[in-house]
Amino acid sequence: MNPGSRLIGYFRVSKRDDLYTCEDPQKLESFCTKKGASIVSTESEVSAGNQIVRVGLWKALRKMLCSQCEPRQMPMLNQYEDWMRELNKSCSCKSAKPCDGIVVTDMRAVTTDMAQGARFTLDLCAAGKHLVSLAEEKCLSCCNPQAVAFLRKSILP
């Protein structure tokens, strides 16, 4: 992430009551302000973290692709690969204003499954989008030399 980066905030809680007391939005905001980045909007949801295919995360990622439009409805899909393919389809509007990535307090906001988290990180890296984690204080995807090197190796013969 760089100063001027436009990001979508995302956080997840396990109980509905926590949605209103969760301090993640303030944490995301102050971190980004410190780094000179901005949060265009924030998505949240009540969910367990083991299933990555879910509506709030879908909305956050769609807003990353176009911050102008309301995200289209999430198609009924179970497979991560299909879901990611749908996510990457560009917005149907002619004035899509993409953001540069998403920001979370911790990778566990996205998924509690490490293998799934690694795939997601690489997918964002391939898309050239930041996945900023406050826990690591940096982007884990496109600005991460290890993720970039891994992708290069897996794409090139």
Is 91 one of the binding residues for Zn ion (CB under 5 A)? yes
Site string (3-42) toward Zn ion, x via CB under 5 A: ----------------------------------------
Site membership for Zn ion, residue 122 (CB under 5 A): no
142 interacts with Zn ion by CB under 5 A: yes
**Three-class HEC string of 108-148:** HHCCCCHHHHHHHHHHHHHCCCEEEECCCCEECCCCCHHHH
Closest CA to 12 of 3, 22, 2: 22
The residue (of 35 and 130) whose beta carbon lies closer to Zn ion is: 130
Q: Is 139 in the site for Zn ion (CB under 5 A)?
A: yes
Q: Quick one: which of 19, 48, 55, 96 contacts Zn ion (CB under 5 A)? A: 96
143 binds Zn ion (CB under 5 A): yes
* Subset of residues 50 to 79 that bind Zn ion, contact rule: CB under 5 A: 66, 68-69
Residue 151 interacting with Zn ion (CB under 5 A): no
CA distance 120 to 77: 16
Strand-by-strand arrangement of the 6-13 sheet: 38-46, 6-13, 101-104, 130-133, 138-139
Strand, helix or coil for residue 58: helix
| Cα-trace Rg, the chain | 15
**What residues make contact with Zn ion under the rule CB under 5 A?**
66, 68-69, 91, 93, 96, 130, 139, 142-143
